[in-house]
Chains A and B, each alone.
Chain A
Amino acid sequence: MEVRTIRLPRLKLKIRGGVHPPDHKSLTADKPIRRIPAPSEVIIPLRQHAGVPCVPQVKKGDQVFVGTVLGDAEAFVSAPVHSSVSGKVINIAAHPHPAGGEVLSVVVENDGQYTPAPGLQPLNWREMDGDAIRQAVRAAGMVGLGGAAFPTHVKLSPPSDYPIDTVILNGAECEPYLNSDYRLMLERAEDIVEGMRIIMKAVGAPRGIIAVEDNKPLAVRKMAEAARDPSIQVSSLRTRYPQGAEKVLIYNLLDREVPSGGLPMHVGVVVNNVGTACAIAQYFRTGMPLVERVVTVTGSVIREPSNLLVPIGTTFAAAVEACGGFTEPPGKVIMGGPMMGLAQYTLDVPVVKATSGILALSQEETDYELPREPVCIRCGRCVEACPMNLIPTYLAAFAHREKWDDLLRLHVNDCIECGCCTYTCPTKNPIVQLIKTAKAELARRKARSDKRAQEKGAPAEEGGHGSR
């Protein structure tokens, strides 16, 4: 029951940048998780994860149950999706997705019975080996619930030449407004610790660290009480965005730097979100795959900001309605937090596995003045704020002028797109937006040159180094 408090030395923090935006957590911090029923129809996209989209495993008219597989894929980097209600498949068609664009989705008519799929069984992970745990985690459709939605079984499959010595559970929740992880840590601490044990067993790690920002002392205490195991530590980190970014977390906790273009496993670490650990534990206990998640519905224009347990496939509109609707027409609706979340054009998108929050900002909060001609006054704030120690203002300038070689020379692909540079910029230069555009273009160029090289049978030249 060790509470190890890591207070970062000031100098180190300075070097690692970050910003401290107003957190607005108090809107929902004290609101217990409230389960809401699914609406009469749920819309379940067949791509809710980073990787290969699923193909439908059901057809129109099929009867499905809670936990029935709706879609799956053969590929390794993919995760199946399951029905969150029982009822009939009424449509399989492209539908607006909260991550943008339209995605093939299964629409299930809710019969209101919530009949579980037959054959769902609790699993005893203590009697399973790593491979069996990974297969089970994949079968449960588990993905990173922090927002990136990377398939969890992939994270739990490090190659044997990279031994894992530490599993980190990320409970930093450094994005303003969001409280879904915080509420889970308060209400389901035991499950989170159980999930940690399962992950540690799967990757064979001797040590686990649960990392929480020090603005959540109650969560730190709850987690420390639940972690009776001496191999599991709870660390309280200084509150600073983006403390919860994987690479930042690893550096601040373990003083290790993930090599450019590398993964946490390359430095012996696996990082998972506390919400993911909680969901894994629940799955092993009940056998029910990932069909619901905690969503913080918040913002100045939400009548009753809440933390909801939402069946996957519930529309944003229904989730907002469950919180009393809007007090005034919002200027912007965001999936996730204000720093990295995705702006929505409609509320007719479903809650997906990656939906940690639904944030509605007022029109006033949305209208900040943007410059007609962005300039850089070289104040250096973005350089100080960049947790990756990049030079954001140069990257933005090079992106603007399409200087691809210079972008690669300054390691543009190491940008984690946290947005600190843009948040802190006094001239309101859209720095990270320019960088994202450049990264996408560089990826396209690399794909093109790889393809050309393949056709010629010669090694690729253009496009530089490892983007993930």
Chain B
Amino acid sequence: MEAGRFVVSTSPHIRDPITTRKIMCRVILALAPVTVFAVAVHGVHALYVLLSSMAGAMLGELAVQKGRRMPVTLNDCSALLTGLLLALTLPPHLPWWTALIGGLTATVLGKQIFGGLGHNLFNPALVGRAVVFVSWLTYLNAGYVKTASLGLAHTATHRAIEKAVDVASGATPLAAMKIVYDPSTSPVGPGGVPHGIQASTYYKPLLLANPWGCLGEVSALLLILGGIYLVVTRVIDWRIPVIYVGTVAILTAITGRDPLFYTLAGGLLIGAIFMATDYTTSPLAGKGKVVYALGLGVVTWLLRFWSNNPEGVMFAILFMNGMVPVIDRYLLPRSYGIGTETREGKA
């Protein structure tokens, strides 16, 4: 019997077929419906934003890795995913070069500077978005305007608000509500909700087809379906999105606002499902994930209702990303057999 030469290595001798690339591709797949629908709703401008953001992210990764003479890891699809996620947090009519710079910053400043995949402290896509946000806020706001003039009809509420407050820029539903609730700008005076303007009239468009907002906010339903797919395929832990969104909803209700509206509107769902669950920038183990998600909920709530901006998801996630090393230091699981007693002499 000729046996030949054998590979000798230590156990285990089999591996789960899961790879980083497969995980990234599953997330991209989960985002595919909302991406396609965003282009359908917002038109070709959305496509420009998507392509330039993804190109920027991949270029950034390629440039750093080539420059440092490291193996190029574009085929793990993580840079592509970063670019896609960034694009989905941008308005459809943003100038393409802004998205490109956002993508470049995302992978260069958000990821590669820390040492690449697995080493970054902050969510790269949100680092990219933060740079766009602070650098070109007017472009960001203007990005929504043209959307509002697209064929998709405004709800009566939205029209009423825009008319009432005479906004120069286009208003996302969250921004509209901010104006409604702000005592200084509210058309009907402090504390009161204008007659006929109800957050509930936004439910349907926010869930199914929302023309006012970032690309990824085009349909809450598609985001939720993507999230379910990721939970079922065990890519993400359900606890982070569920606790995050739940905390925001409960705190919103306690504040006296409409919890469903504030769940569906803005970046909460895409942030909770696709960004707060980013492996590298979220805690490793169970207890830490719960604390992290609770923290995200509280910070988002604070920023949404007590800051100048209508939205708080981006800075909430970036802030809690920074807390992760602390959380991971103090909230690791108790390992087996630590702090347990022997049964000496007990019969």
Residue of B nearest to A429 (CB): B118
Known: A378-B284, A391-B332. A258 touches B337 (CB 8 A): yes
Pairwise interchain contact A423-B12, C-beta atoms closer than 8 A: yes
Q: Does A29 contact B (CB under 8 A)?
A: no
Q: Please classify how large the interface on chain B is, using the bins under 10, 10 to 19, 20 to 34, 35 or more.
A: 35 or more
Pairwise interchain contact A320-B285, C-beta atoms closer than 8 A: no
Set B11, B14, B16, B116: member contacting A375, Cβ < 8 A: B116
CA distance A158 to B8 in the complex (A): 38
B78 to chain A, nearest CB (A): 8
A375 to chain B, nearest CB (A): 5
Pairwise interchain contact A389-B336, C-beta atoms closer than 8 A: yes
Pairwise interchain contact B16-A21, C-beta atoms closer than 8 A: yes
Pairwise interchain contact A377-B280, C-beta atoms closer than 8 A: yes
* One of A69-77, A79-87, A282-290, A324-332 contacting the partner: A324-332
Residue of B nearest to A334 (CB): B13
- In the complex, which residues of chain B have a beta carbon less than 8 angstroms from the beta carbon of A165? 347
Set B16, B338, B340, B341: member contacting A424, Cβ < 8 A: B16
Q: Does B333 contact A (CB under 8 A)?
A: yes
CA distance A391 to B332 in the complex (A): 8
Pairwise interchain contact B285-A380, C-beta atoms closer than 8 A: yes
Pairwise interchain contact B342-A390, C-beta atoms closer than 8 A: no
Set B6, B13, B284, B342: member contacting A259, Cβ < 8 A: B342
CA distance A266 to B346 in the complex (A): 10
Within 8 A of B (CB), among A331-357: 331-334, 338-347
Pairwise interchain contact B284-A247, C-beta atoms closer than 8 A: no
Known: A383-B333, A387-B336, A388-B335. A372 touches B8 (CB 8 A): no
- In the complex, which residues of chain B have a beta carbon less than 8 angstroms from the beta carbon of A163? 343, 345-347
Could you give, for residues 1-36 of chain B, a 1 whenever the CB lies within 8 Å of some chain A CB and a 0 otherwise?
111101111111111101110110000000000000
Q: Does A68 contact B (CB under 8 A)?
A: no
- In the complex, which residues of chain B have a beta carbon less than 8 angstroms from the beta carbon of A361? 13
A327 to chain B, nearest CB (A): 12
Pairwise interchain contact A266-B343, C-beta atoms closer than 8 A: yes
CA distance A46 to B344 in the complex (A): 36
Known: A258-B337, A343-B7. A332 touches B16 (CB 8 A): no
Q: Does A155 contact B (CB under 8 A)?
A: no
Pairwise interchain contact A329-B3, C-beta atoms closer than 8 A: yes
Could you give, for residues 307-347 of chain B, a 1 whenever the CB lies within 8 Å of some chain A CB and a 0 otherwise?
00000000000000000000000001111111011111111
- In the complex, which residues of chain B have a beta carbon less than 8 angstroms from the beta carbon of A331? 6-7
Residue of A nearest to B236 (CB): A379
A259 to chain B, nearest CB (A): 5
Q: Does B256 contact A (CB under 8 A)?
A: no
Q: Does B71 contact A (CB under 8 A)?
A: yes
Known: A391-B284, A414-B335. A432 touches B12 (CB 8 A): yes
B302 to chain A, nearest CB (A): 27
Pairwise interchain contact B337-A268, C-beta atoms closer than 8 A: no
CA distance A359 to B11 in the complex (A): 13
Q: Does B160 contact A (CB under 8 A)?
A: no
Q: Does B162 contact A (CB under 8 A)?
A: no
Set A176, A266, A321, A376: member contacting B342, Cβ < 8 A: A266
- In the complex, which residues of chain A have a beta carbon less than 8 angstroms from the beta carbon of B282? 378
Q: Does B97 contact A (CB under 8 A)?
A: no
Pairwise interchain contact A377-B279, C-beta atoms closer than 8 A: yes
Residue of A nearest to B282 (CB): A378
Set B9, B12, B342: member contacting A262, Cβ < 8 A: B342
Pairwise interchain contact B336-A388, C-beta atoms closer than 8 A: yes
Pairwise interchain contact A339-B11, C-beta atoms closer than 8 A: yes
Set A258, A345, A368: member contacting B8, Cβ < 8 A: A345
- In the complex, which residues of chain A have a beta carbon less than 8 angstroms from the beta carbon of B237? 380
Q: Does A217 contact B (CB under 8 A)?
A: no
CA distance A162 to B345 in the complex (A): 6
CA distance A258 to B336 in the complex (A): 8
- In the complex, which residues of chain A have a beta carbon less than 8 angstroms from the beta carbon of B137? none
Q: Does B40 contact A (CB under 8 A)?
A: no
Q: Please classify how large the interface on chain A is, using the bins under 10, 10 to 19, 20 to 34, 35 or more.
A: 35 or more
B334 to chain A, nearest CB (A): 6
Within 8 A of B (CB), among A419-438: 419, 422-428, 432-433, 436
Could you give, for residues 260-289 of chain B, a 1 whenever the CB lies within 8 Å of some chain A CB and a 0 otherwise?
000000000000000000011010111000
Within 8 A of B (CB), among A155-178: 161-163, 165, 176
Set A345, A379, A391: member contacting B23, Cβ < 8 A: A379
Pairwise interchain contact A326-B1, C-beta atoms closer than 8 A: yes
Pairwise interchain contact A19-B16, C-beta atoms closer than 8 A: yes
CA distance A425 to B19 in the complex (A): 8
Q: Does B113 contact A (CB under 8 A)?
A: no
Q: Does A260 contact B (CB under 8 A)?
A: yes
Known: A251-B336, A259-B337, A424-B18. A329 touches B11 (CB 8 A): no
Q: Does B232 contact A (CB under 8 A)?
A: no
- In the complex, which residues of chain A have a beta carbon less than 8 angstroms from the beta carbon of B11? 334, 338-343, 417, 419, 432
CA distance A310 to B23 in the complex (A): 45
Q: Does B208 contact A (CB under 8 A)?
A: no
CA distance A425 to B22 in the complex (A): 12
Q: Does A454 contact B (CB under 8 A)?
A: no
Pairwise interchain contact A317-B335, C-beta atoms closer than 8 A: no
Q: Does A63 contact B (CB under 8 A)?
A: no
Q: Does B167 contact A (CB under 8 A)?
A: no
Q: Does A393 contact B (CB under 8 A)?
A: yes
Q: Does A99 contact B (CB under 8 A)?
A: no
Set A162, A329, A372, A428: member contacting B15, Cβ < 8 A: A428
Q: Does A127 contact B (CB under 8 A)?
A: no
- In the complex, which residues of chain A have a beta carbon less than 8 angstroms from the beta carbon of B71? 372-373
A316 to chain B, nearest CB (A): 9
Within 8 A of A (CB), among B95-146: 116-119
- In the complex, which residues of chain A have a beta carbon less than 8 angstroms from the beta carbon of B343? 162-163, 256, 266-268
Q: Does A153 contact B (CB under 8 A)?
A: no
Q: Does A411 contact B (CB under 8 A)?
A: yes
Q: Does A257 contact B (CB under 8 A)?
A: yes
B68 to chain A, nearest CB (A): 12
Residue of A nearest to B14 (CB): A338
CA distance A140 to B119 in the complex (A): 56
Provide a sorted-by-A list of 26 A–B residue pairs whose CB atoms are within 8 angstroms.
Answer: A163-B345, A256-B343, A257-B340, A259-B340, A262-B342, A266-B343, A268-B346, A326-B3, A329-B4, A340-B11, A343-B9, A343-B11, A346-B6, A373-B71, A378-B280, A378-B282, A379-B279, A380-B237, A380-B285, A383-B333, A388-B336, A410-B335, A423-B14, A426-B22, A426-B23, A427-B20
Rank and list the top 5 A-B pairs by shortest CB-CB distance, nearest first: A419-B12, A266-B342, A260-B337, A329-B4, A257-B340
Known pairs A338-B13, A377-B117, A377-B118; list 11 more (Cβ under 8 Å): A247-B336, A267-B342, A340-B11, A343-B8, A376-B118, A380-B284, A390-B336, A391-B333, A424-B18, A426-B16, A426-B22
